[in-house]
Amino acid sequence: MATQRTKKDYCWTCGSDQQHRQLTRKEEDWLKERLGRSGVGEFWLCVNVLDPDTGKQCRNLRTGFNKKPFAEPIKAPVLD
Ligand SMILES: [Zn+2]
């Protein structure tokens, strides 16, 4: 299994630096559909835990260069 890459970067919906990870294949497929794009490799997902009781994560998307690539935040759904 490949090690998933992570990096710490600013999440504007959390308002602080948070750990982000690259998208899974399923999340990439979802985002391609959502944006109508063929490539989404530059996106990172915020894994900050918002609710410790449920483990719910922020899941806000940003790119490596742009902390706010969309006018409204896009948060990836939890995909099975
Ligand atoms: Zn966040």
Dist. CA 20 → ligand 1 center (Å)? 8
CA angle 73, 43, 19 (to 5 degrees): 80
* Residues having C-beta closer than 5 Å to ion ligand 1: 11, 14, 18, 46, 48, 58, 60
User: pTM, whole model, 2 decimals?
Assistant: 0.91
Q: How confident is the model at residue 3 (pLDDT cuts 50, 70, 90)?
A: low
Q: pLDDT digits over 46-62, tens only? A: 999 999 999 999 999 99
H/E segment holding residue 63: strand 61-63
Dist. CA 38 → ligand 1 center (Å)? 25
Dist. CA 76 → ligand 1 center (Å)? 11
